[in-house]
Amino acid sequence: MTGGDQLSGGNTPGTEQGIEHEEFHNDIIMMVDDEPLMLGILEVYLVQAGYRNFIALDDSTRAVQLIKEEKPDCLFLDIHMPEVNGFEILEAVRADPETRQLSVIVLTSDTDPATKLKALEMGVTDFLEKPVDSSELVLRLRNALIAKAYRDQLTYYDGLTRLPNRVLFQQRLEAGVTSAQRSSSGLTLMIVSVDRFQNVNDSLGPMAGDAVLVQIAQRLGELTRDAGYDQRKGQEGTARCLGRLGGDEFAISLPGIVGEDQIAEIGDQVTQVMKRPFEVQGEEVVLTASLGIARFPTDSIEASQLLKHAGAAKEVAKKEGRNTLQYYTSEFTERANERRSMEADLHKALDSHQLRLHFQPQLDTASGRVTGMEALVRWRHPTRGMVQPDQFIPLAEENDLILAIDGWVIEEACRQTRAWHLAGYEGLQVSVNVSARQFRQPDLAEQIREACQRAELAPSCLTVELTESLVMGNLDKTARLLHELKDIGVTVSIDDFGTGYSSLAYLKRFPIEELKIDRSFIGGVPGNHEDSAIVRAIVAMARSLELEMVAEGVETTDQYQFLEELQCDRVQGLLLAAPLRDAEFVSFLAKNWNQIEQSG
């Protein structure tokens, strides 16, 4: 399918050139009639009217095949022909999804209404009576082409930007790949994805978002056109083309371009045009874009694969901080496959009891006693062995799986802690990590209250660890959620403190009771001057705000002494113990609880 360019001005977004007669002169007109003379007459008339591309066929047996191959924009079809007649051709054309939409004008000398009725039933577009009148011929053809262009516009173009949509873009890419294959040259596909476009919609509204997208389409359109885009028919394969894949994603096909220098240069141009502020509703909007690149034939010889690969590269560009250009490598596919298989396994993990909790003790520096522990989840995978949370929590966080995991962790941590209370370790405290998605559950406090109730654990023995970035979201909502947690009696702790958002105002505003200083700072004390200064500052601030402080990642006695001198309340880390299985943890407690209690 090639049509539609004529209506939209090809790749010129936003310009509506109207439906003009000349616009159709490059359209492919096919004529099937068993009388060569008739074909000659039609062609003469059409040439006079300005048309240039004809396929004339007097052998009706080849018609269906040729229509499929050449994809004409309009077909003149004689009905009475030997061997294969017009009705049979029409039937085959309408039955094939690829040609179903073809405009067909039937040539008939029949004034017989039954023949006309039958043709109409079979979906002909129009009739033309023999002998043919030249003005009538041209008008009927024009009308058929207008109707076709309108259909194409709806089917193949994006209504907002007027760029080719995903369907047409992919067809053009396929044409590009075929043509590159034929000429033994290369082709580069570039996906341009606007970074954080949702912010524009959220802050200025969807109308403003649409206006920005139109401007982006215009700028990218200028870029591709300036670089020699040729919209003539039959040029699809060799011309650059731009399309909107959907949402905030655009794609550019660059035939003949494979060198990294050239690609970098074009990538640079795209980055530059994106950087220029966009004006919408009197406001300036500043945006960046992430670019994903896939190349023919290196990365794939199939258009659909190239699109997939460039998409994967774009995802990596987004993850690596956005505003970057990323080439596809086969690793991405491996990684994506790996992730998919991990994710499928993770769905089964909960039901098949593959998740475990490990417990890492926390020591109170003033008394020298073990007062509690952090519950850390592990996944005992049947073939991969023990999988650490860093490898599967982010995966689970991408969907609702994390809710089930966090829910299970809370239940299990409460149950285990209560069991240890009953075994004589009364007052033992447990901390659990809560992910962003879990935190945003409106009934989180209620869930936790019920979990404590089921386990018969006093909520005061439970600490909920949240990260800084998590509580910095919607401030009112966060305040409400944190108050609900405080009201049921659990302690709220900020995990990895110092690595997230640097606004400290929230510490006063929210009912937070504990800070866990991130282990990246602890790693540097006492040797590293800056880390030491940061830790001192955090401890001083926490003290003045009357917050409990926990240092995590304490590995050496030097670090411990430094923290003890600062009167940091508690420490956690390999110096004491790694996260331990329940049996190991209980023997750790058995060894340390009494002995430490006596000494403390």
Contact residues for ligand C2E, defined by CB under 6 A: 360, 376-377, 388-390, 393, 406, 409, 433, 435, 465, 495-496, 519, 552-555, 573-574, 579
Measured from the CB atom, is 168 or 396 closer to ligand C2E?
Answer: 396
Detail the DSSP E strand segments found in 281-338: 283-285, 289-296, 325-327
What is the SS3 assignment for 185? coil
CB of 187 to ligand C2E, least distance (A): 43
CB of 552 to Mg ion, least distance (A): 5
Which of the ranges 182-190, 358-366, 438-446, 457-465 carries the binding residues for Mg ion, by CB under 5 A?
457-465
CB of 196 to Mg ion, least distance (A): 27
- The footprint of Mg ion on residues 479-498 (CB under 5 A) is 495-496
Contact flag: residue 433 with Mg ion (CB under 5 A) = yes
Pairing of strands 325-327, 355-364: unpaired
> Which residues does residue 188 pair with via DSSP β-bridges, in sequence order?
254, 295
Which of the ranges 118-126, 312-320, 461-469, 486-494 carries the binding residues for Mg ion, by CB under 5 A?
461-469
CB of 436 to ligand C2E, least distance (A): 9
- Residues in contact with Mg ion, counted by CB under 5 A, come to a total of 4
Mark 77-96 with x for binding to Mg ion (rule: CB under 5 A) and - for no binding.
--------------------
In this structure, are residues 71 and 2 in contact, taking their beta carbons and an 8 Å threshold?
Answer: yes
Closest CA to 589 of 563, 414, 568, 581: 581
CB of 185 to ligand C2E, least distance (A): 49
In this structure, are residues 431 and 372 in contact, taking their beta carbons and an 8 Å threshold?
Answer: yes
Task: Extract the tokens encoding 176.
Answer: 């590009």
Measured from the CB atom, is 270 or 517 closer to Mg ion?
Answer: 517
In this structure, are residues 434 and 464 in contact, taking their beta carbons and an 8 Å threshold?
Answer: yes
First to last CA, the chain: 83
Rg of the Cα atoms in the chain: 35
Measured from the CB atom, is 237 or 579 closer to ligand C2E?
Answer: 579
Distances (CA, A) of 141 to 161, 253, 269: 29, 33, 42
What is the SS3 assignment for 47? helix
Measured from the CB atom, is 278 or 585 closer to ligand C2E?
Answer: 585
Which of the ranges 153-161, 266-274, 436-444, 459-467 carries the binding residues for Mg ion, by CB under 5 A?
459-467
Closest CA to 548 of 522, 513, 519: 513
Query: Can you tell me which residue has the tokens 């994805």?
Result: 193
Contact flag: residue 299 with Mg ion (CB under 5 A) = no
Query: Can you tell me which residue has the tokens 């299990």?
Result: 412
Distances (CA, A) of 366 to 430, 460, 562: 19, 21, 13
- The footprint of Mg ion on residues 527-566 (CB under 5 A) is none
Task: Identify the H or E element spanning 369.
Answer: strand 369-381
Mark 340-379 with x for binding to Mg ion (rule: CB under 5 A) and - for no binding.
----------------------------------------
Residue nearest to ligand C2E (CB): 573
CB of 430 to Mg ion, least distance (A): 12
Residue 389's binding partner among Mg ion, ligand C2E, none (Cβ under 5 to 8 angstroms by kind) is ligand C2E
**Cα-flanking dihedrals φ and ψ of residue 69, to 5°?**
-75, -45
Residue 573's binding partner among Mg ion, ligand C2E, none (Cβ under 5 to 8 angstroms by kind) is ligand C2E
Residues that bind Mg ion (CB under 5 A): 433, 465, 495-496
